A and B are shown apart, each in its own frame.
Chain A
Amino acid sequence: MNRYGAQPDQARRRFVGRAGATAAMLTLAPGVSLIDLVRAKSDDVPVSADTRWGMLVDATKCAEGCTDCVDACNDEHGLQTSSRPELDAQYIRKLDLRDRTTGKTYSLPMLCQHCETAPCVDVCPTGASFRRADGIVLVDKHTCIGCRYCMMACPYKARSFVHENLTDQVPNTPRGKGTVESCTFCAHRVDRDREPACVEACTRAGHDALTFGDMSDPHSDISVMAKKIATRQIRADLRLNTGVRYHGV
């Protein structure tokens, strides 16, 4: 009995105590957890072909001059600019277009289109360019010999070659001089149920021009949107079944 003459709320105490112990068990230190509640899958579970990650770009919402997606990508992957821009790696870039007949202008991001039948994967002599089962096209930096044939083959100019020694790399995106690289769809984030950095930045800025999701899931935002609005693939004539679709261009 306490000074106010009431019995303590034992149930509440038990709840607080158990919740505290559970939280302590789950989090040993910042970033180290016994059980990661937000992880979509554990690292030893392979990605599944039931998923097809994709991105929908709504060019009508993409502001000319805005580079939020590009800046976020550069930060996320530790990409830096140099004195020779023609050598800089660009995973995503803003493309400004002007219709020669009508004069109408468009602005949109261009990045690896994560093709189903990717020319870069086809031409790579060592198989370093590969497509994950869930549709993300990546480069294995350990088997890339730096021949750049994939750069010759990419219809979207989406790949970059690392021309010089690198410093200040970020852990999530190991890079290497003499190898080719491109947009990873932020696979390290997607595997933790997070959106790619460019999508997150675009949403945070309130543009909502980028939607990311599972194109195989008919109920995902991207699938629902793609049913409602007209979308197209860039260089659809090549029949590559791209993972990035565009609206409004």
Chain B
Amino acid sequence: MASSVGDRFSVLDRAGLRFRFAVAALLGLIALGYAAAHYMEVEGHHVTGMTNQIVWGTPHVFAVFLIVAASGALNVASLASVFGIARYKPLARLSGLLAIALLLGGLVVLVLDLGRPERLIVAMTYYNFKSIFAWNIFLYTGFIVIAVAYLWMHFEPRMGVYVKPVGIGAFVWRIVLTTGTGSIFGFLVAREGYDAAIMAPLFVVMSLVFGTAAFLLFAMAVFRWSGAALDTQVVTKLANLLGIFVAASLYLTAIYHLTNLYITEHHGFERFLLLDGGVHTTLFWLVQVALGGLLVFAVLWTPLGGPPRRKAVVASILALIGGAAQVYVIIIGGQAYPLEMFPGMDASSSFFDGVVAHYSPSLPEVGLGLGGVGLALLIALVGLRVLPFVPDRAAGDVADRQG
């Protein structure tokens, strides 16, 4: 009977040496991140690759990637609780856990990269409500609250009837959250690469890609670890969904660039990103479009991909790599192209006006970002050990849309 599927959950109990090793490795990453953050705070940002030209660097790539992925990681929970697709119900708890973990990891990176991270209390007590950044503070903290509430509805049998309404709330919230994250860039009127409303839906779709890919890998790893059975059909369906999200992301990216190519004032920026931008051009075409897009399709929908599970794993890894490149190109590439204050004129100054800004990620920046990833995974791992997140089995042989 379908309703019995996934009714039983357990704590990840096969801890042993492998669990300890994983925890130790993640603690190592967190220690690296902490050391990097401490070094940056004591020394100042001159120890990073960031400058007055590239003001947001690698930590922001990590943070935005994790935050956007967090929103998308809740996708499976939404499929189960909002759209009522029964095959995903056993996975809803894992989906909520991963979402919270990824968001916390991303937020920590974002906060520790601040020039004055010790002033977090200021950010939480002084608000300028015209700032989309201020709104995002509420969106992020609210997301954690609503995701925790969603899990509570799952864990507490008496609250089971509220799973759907809370799930709908979480679904709406995460769409608004990624809209807000995209709008951080969309609302930047000054820069050629941003200032576009399409940034909001693009980020929503990016979240679906990153989150679904991250969840697929996470769920497959958890099931492998726990020894429970994750039905191949579930994996295949999620992988196909990932492919559709990747296609949607490529579509919105194409529309963004085509629109810019139609508008003469953006030709310079498009030429930079699509042709002359060096590492940005390479990352865009080779990693974002080819690896994270076309190859994902090839792996998923041609015999090239091999058996279903391998398809899902390879496609997910490719989608995550392509997604990281996409965030890098948006954040760093968007800043690298110089501001055009005087159209039709070549500008030069001691402040690097008129030239493409150079940026090299530094070790502390990468360390901080990896620390955030480590923290996210550790939170997920600890969660698995202390609460019953892991279903005994997640099968695909149940009828869809059973509510």
Contact = CB atoms under 8 A, between A and B. Distances in A.
A7 to B, nearest CB: 70
Given A90-B351, A146-B116, 10 more contacts: A96-B349, A101-B344, A123-B131, A125-B127, A125-B131, A149-B131, A161-B45, A163-B50, A164-B43, A234-B341
19 contacts: A86-B53, A86-B358, A90-B52, A93-B353, A97-B345, A106-B345, A123-B130, A123-B133, A125-B123, A144-B115, A144-B116, A145-B115, A146-B116, A146-B117, A147-B123, A161-B55, A163-B46, A165-B44, A238-B189
A173 interface: no
B123 A145 contact: yes
Contacts of A159: 52
Given A85-B350, A97-B346, A178 B116 contact: yes
Interface in A91-138: 93-101, 106, 110, 119, 121-128
Nearest to A238: B189
Contacts of A152: 55-56, 188, 190-191, 335
B20 interface: no
Contacts of A177: 44, 115
Chain A interface residue count: which class? 35 or more
Given A87-B52, A164-B43, A234-B342, A96 B126 contact: no
Interface string B36-66: 0000010111100011110110000000000
A154 B341 CA distance: 11
A99 B189 contact: no
B115 A127 contact: no
Interface of A: 82, 84-90, 93-101, 106, 110, 119, 121-128, 143-149, 151-157, 159-165, 176-180, 234-235, 238, 249
Nearest to A154: B190
Per DSSP, chain B at the interface is loop
Interface in B339-376: 339, 341-342, 344-353, 357-358
A125 B131 CA distance: 5
B276 to A, nearest CB: 17
B274 interface: no
A85 B133 CA distance: 29
Contacts of B44: 162-165, 177-178
The residue among A147, A153, A162, A164 with the most chain B CB atoms within 10 A of its own CB is A147
B153 to A, nearest CB: 32
Given A97-B347, A145-B119, A124 B339 contact: no
Contacts of B45: 161, 163-164, 178
Contacts of A164: 43-46
Contacts of B191: 152
B132 interface: yes
A82 B55 CA distance: 18
Contacts of B346: 97-98, 100
A164 B345 CA distance: 34
B159 interface: no
A88 B349 CA distance: 13
B333 to A, nearest CB: 13
Contacts of B41: 178
Contacts of A121: 128
Contact of B115 (A87, A148, A155, A234): A148
Contacts of B117: 145-146
A159 B187 CA distance: 18
Contacts of B352: 86
Nearest to B119: A145
Contact of A156 (B188, B341, B345): B341
B349 A95 contact: yes
Nearest to A108: B342
B382 interface: no
Contact of B51 (A86, A127, A144): A86
A123 B186 CA distance: 12
A155 B130 contact: no
B55 A148 contact: yes
Interface string B180-195: 0000100111110000
B137 interface: yes
